[in-house]
Amino acid sequence: MTRQPAPLARLAMLLTLTLAPGCTHEADQQPVAREAAPEHQGIYSFPNACVTLDAAAAGTGRASFLRVSDEGEGFAFGATADAAAPLTMRATDLGTYLFYDSHEHYLVVEERALRRRDTINSDAFTLDDTTLPGVQWALEVSDEDPTRFQLRHLKTGAYLTPTGLSDEAAGAAVITLYPAQGCAPYPELTLDAEGELPPTRFDDGSVYGFVDTHSHLFSNRGFGGAGIFHGAPFHPFGVPHALPSCEMFHGEEGRKDLFGYGFDKSDTVSELDMITAFVNGRVPEFYHHTQGWPSFTDWPSAHFLSTHQTQYYLWLKRAYYAGLRLVVNHATSNQIICELVAGSGAQPVRYSCNDMVAVDRTLEDTRALERYIDAQSGGPGTGWFRIVESPQEARAVIEEGKLAVVLGIEVSNLFDCFLVPPGGGERCTEAQVLANLERYRALGVRAIFPVHKFDNAFSAGDGHREIIELANFAMTGHYSNFTDDCPDIPSAFDKGDVAFAELNQPREDYLAEPPVDMSGFADDPIDVLLGQARYLMGGSLHGDYCQNAGLTELGEFLLIELMKEGFILEIDHLPRRSYQRAFELLVEHDYPAAGTHGNNMRGELYGLGGISKMNLGRCSNPQSPGTLADGLQERVALIESHGGYPAEGFGFDLNGFAGAPGPRFGEHSVCDTPQENPITYPFTSYDGHVTFTRPRLGEREVDFNTEGMVHLGLVAELIEDVRNDGVSDAQLEPLFRSAEAYLRFWERSEARGAALRGE
């Protein structure tokens, strides 16, 4: 359909637009007539494009090019292309861009003027979600010319014109984008991998690739969403905003990174030392350098520094290039850690410490990351990162050669079902549980832990010792509830000594009223804890202790409903008594489960069709090459002996305070014996399609041999290290079949759910 010229009245309206300061139409140069617009693929087709742009007032067909203003403080429209500013278009979301000039300045609207700034602010620094620095533009098809565009400013909603901004769409300039040269590359990390990733299957039709069964991409959205955990897997404005210095949160020399210090140095720092640090608001010694982009002096370092991002989206992409094809992204947080750090004034928070607030934010941001990667890739659905909601969808995504992402939840107070509801409220009911299951299923969640660290309305907490004992007391007002009368059940957490002997006072009724009022903890955690200091002075209990309580009636109801709905049921944070009863329910309902912290119930989990996770060996034996894969081979044999699919993947738990494989060489080597065959570059991926080069972090060169797996992207090196040890590709094949193993487990979960529903 041919579009008609705009009416004269519209043109008259345009002539009355107020000239915006800082954005001028140069009076001594007359607009020139336009030629046909360059060919393009639409509004999504300009990620990282180098362009010049011109703007024609609606209805005129005569354009002026955007250039740097004479004083250099802003941008102006001139008549010819010769002086046009080359601009990098950086996609910030689907169909939205910022413009970055050849001298590394941003095009920013301030007070309705087109300004030129070398830096921009964002929510990463203000901790305010509403922060918009005026740098983003929505690229839209022009209402007047379908071969050209119009630009709508996101912050103001106004449209770009040759003389400033118009609040009305009718006033929008008709924009042409021309391919250009001389642009500055937008700040970004390098991938350090090259190659094509064609769709790949095994000969029997199984999908190709390994799984990371347990991941936390968005721990930065937990813990109140500020800097307790620092760094994001992406930011609309790129790596300078996703991975900046942590000093504003962790303080000079990292001395305000209290939780990280206590966690990473738990072998040498006592609980009493940590209480002193919280009272003082800083740790007593240098902890870590704080620089992020572009120097990254100390972090990321998954093996040594747990409170910093290790899964930036390009590091995830590098793992994808190494063969990662399925990842389970669990939303996580810890309300007590958040309240302890924020309530003591050590670090700020952005929003509530509540676990489910963190869950909702993580789910939103995971969707935003999918859009962001799509935006960098050319439009909706084009990216390599695909959120999936069924095993069938996951299988299709992997068969396309992309990464399938499953959404999960791992928090202590699932659905706000507290053991002791805040403010004396009522405990959760079955109706509330069902409503939450329906809500979060609609949001795409498919994997759920019924319990995490602390006691809740479903079960006693996982039984983790030391600081968790004290934190559970703060959470519930109940004394520790450990006994040495324990079932013979393997456990990832509920085992061993009790750190605080005086705090342990087992109770018969798990649901009894709490003996201690800890309701003031969030506002004044230090004074509340000091008021209970007598419980910290009584030494430890030595032996094999476990939680004295198991699943509640509501907990059993939750598990059965999770089965009926075909959820991926995560059971490794159940304490021994809860695990024992849960396994009875699994057997009764012939339902599989996931043990993504490594518990496979001595192989019985595989007999139900479930999955667990394994780790590759870390220290080689030069006298016996190939031993780094012994654990994988033993696990596959165990799976086969129980009739399972012979494959097992990783469960790194990165960003979950779980560490990562450390270095084999250098002063920080995790090995007791001399090691051989360090990583050398370049090397090729397991499937031979990708070449990996030495990884970089901005200005920092990473040495896997002496630093270990500092972030997820170095899983490529981890696998190559094992191959260097003499492990054959045939021996590693079960790892690269682990995505298939997970899909079969998930398919069985859904099939059993349908059967339990009578379908």
- Residue 210, Cα to own-chain centre: how many angstroms? 18
| Confidence (pTM) | 0.94
DSSP output for 604-669: HHHHTT-B-------S--TTSTTGGGHHHHHHHHHHHHTT--S---B---TTSS------SSSTT-
The rounded distance, in Å, linking the Cα atoms of 191 and 302 is: 18
Burial 390-424 (b: 16+ CB within 10 A, else e): ebeebbebbbebbbbbbbbbbbbbbbbbbbbeeee
Query: CA 723 to CA 626: how far, in whole Å?
Result: 8
In whole angstroms, what separates CA 355 from the centre of its chain?
Answer: 16
State the pLDDT confidence band at 32, using cuts at 50, 70 and 90. Answer: low
Give yes or no for residue 18 having a pLDDT over 50: no
Distance CA 461, CA 96 (A): 44
> What are the pLDDT digits (tens) for 668-722?
999 999 999 999 999 999 999 999 999 999 999 999 999 999 999 999 999 999 9
**Mean pLDDT to the nearest integer, 491-510:** 96
Query: Could you tell me what percentage of the chain is helix, strand and coil, using 3-state DSSP and rounding each to the nearest 5?
Result: 30, 20, 50
DSSP state of 402: -
The pLDDT of residue 346 is: 87
Length of the chain: 759
Closest CA to 463 of 357, 360, 580, 342: 580
Q: Give the pLDDT confidence score for residue 141 in this predicted structure.
A: 97
Q: What is the largest CA-CA distance in the chain?
A: 91
3-state secondary structure at position 535: helix
Residue 281: per-residue pLDDT: 86
Amino acid at 358: A
> What's the mean per-residue pLDDT of the chain?
93
Residues forming a β-bridge with 179: 51
In contact, 643 and 606? CB cutoff 8 Å: yes
Kind of pairing between the strands at 75-78 and 62-68: antiparallel
CA atoms within 13 A on the CB side of 700: 17
For residue 108, give every residue at least 6 positions away whose Cβ sits within 8 Å of its Cβ, in sequence order, or none.
114, 115, 116, 117, 120, 133, 134, 135
> Residue 359's pLDDT is what?
98
SS (HEC) of 256-293: CCHHHHHHHCCCCCCHHHHHHHHHHCCCCCCCCCCCCC
Dihedral Cα 593, 599, 600, 602, nearest 10 deg: -150
How far is it, in rounded angstroms, from Cα 233 to Cα 219? 9
Residue 464 tokens, joined: 């983790």
Phi and psi (nearest 5°) for 210? -105, 160
Digit-coded pLDDT (tens) for 155-196: 999 999 999 999 999 999 999 999 999 999 999 999 999 999
Digit-coded pLDDT (tens) for 209-230: 999 999 999 999 999 998 899 9
- Give the DSSP H/E element, type plus range, for residue 109: strand 106-110
Q: Comparing C-alpha atoms, which of 386, 376, 406, 347 is closest to residue 216?
A: 406
Report whether 107 contacts 154 (CB < 8 A): no
Structure tokens at 480: 């520790």
Could you tell me the pLDDT band of residue 489, with boundaries at 50, 70 and 90?
very high
Collect contacts of 198-202 with beta carbons under 8 A, ≥24 apart: 198/401, 198/689, 199/399, 199/400, 199/401, 200/401, 200/687, 201/399, 202/737, 202/740
Q: How confident is the model at residue 272, as a pLDDT?
A: 74
- For 277-327, how does the pLDDT look when each residue is reduced to its tens digit (9 = 90+)? 888 888 999 999 999 999 999 999 999 999 999 999 999 999 999 999 999
CB 571 within 8 A of CB 596: no
Whether the bond between 294 and the residue before it is cis, its omega within 30 degrees of 0, is: yes
pLDDT at 605 over 80: yes
Q: How far is CA 383 from the centre of its chain?
A: 17
Mean pLDDT of 130-140: 95
CB atoms within 10 A of CB 515: 10
Percent of the chain with pLDDT over 70: 96
Q: For residue 279, what pLDDT is reported?
A: 83
User: With 50 as the cut, is the pLDDT of residue 526 above it?
Assistant: yes
Contact 347, 281 (CB under 8 A): no
How confident is the model at residue 11, as a pLDDT?
34
Looking at residue 181, what DSSP letter applies? S
pLDDT in tens, 537-575: 888 999 999 999 999 999 999 999 999 999 999 999 999
- pLDDT at site 33: 62
Residue 547 phi, psi (nearest 5)? -65, 140
Q: Is the peptide bond before 185 cis (omega within 30 degrees of 0)?
A: no
Count CA atoms within 13 Å of residue 509 on its CB side. Answer: 5
Rounded CA-CA distance 326/741 in Å is 11
What is residue 22's predicted lDDT score, i.e. its pLDDT? 40
Q: Which two tokens stand for residue 548?
A: 């004295």
Pairing between β-strand 324-332 and β-strand 210-215 as defined by DSSP bridges: parallel
Q: Which of 291, 305, 223 has the alpha carbon at shortest distance from 253?
A: 291
Would you say residue 10 has pLDDT above 60? Answer: no
Average the pLDDT over 363-374 and give the result: 98
Helix (H) or strand (E) holding 457: none
Mean pLDDT of 88-109: 98
The rounded Cα 727 to chain-centroid distance in angstroms is 31
pLDDT digits (tens, 9 = 90+) for 373-391: 999 999 999 999 999 999 9
Q: Region 430-441: what's the mean pLDDT? A: 98
Confidence of residue 13 (pLDDT cuts 50, 70, 90): very low
**Of the candidates 754, 541, 657, the residue with the CA atom closest to the CA atom of residue 216:** 657
Name the E strands within 513-561. 546-547
Judge if the upstream peptide bond of residue 421 is cis by omega within 30 degrees of 0.
Answer: no
Alpha carbon distance 208, 472 (integer Å): 42
- Residue 305 and residue 262 in contact, taking contact as beta carbons nearer than 8 Å: no
Q: What pLDDT digit, counting tens, does each position of 626-680 carry? A: 999 999 999 999 999 999 999 999 999 999 988 899 999 999 999 999 999 999 9
Query: What is the predicted pLDDT for the residue at 577?
Result: 98
Residue 331 confidence class, pLDDT cut points 50, 70, 90: very high
Contacts of 347 (CB under 8 A, 6+ apart): 226, 227, 228, 249, 250, 256, 258, 341
> Is the confidence at residue 2, as pLDDT, over 70?
no
Quick check: 258 pLDDT over 80? yes
Percent of the chain with pLDDT over 90: 84
Q: How confident is the model at residue 481 (pLDDT cuts 50, 70, 90)?
A: very high
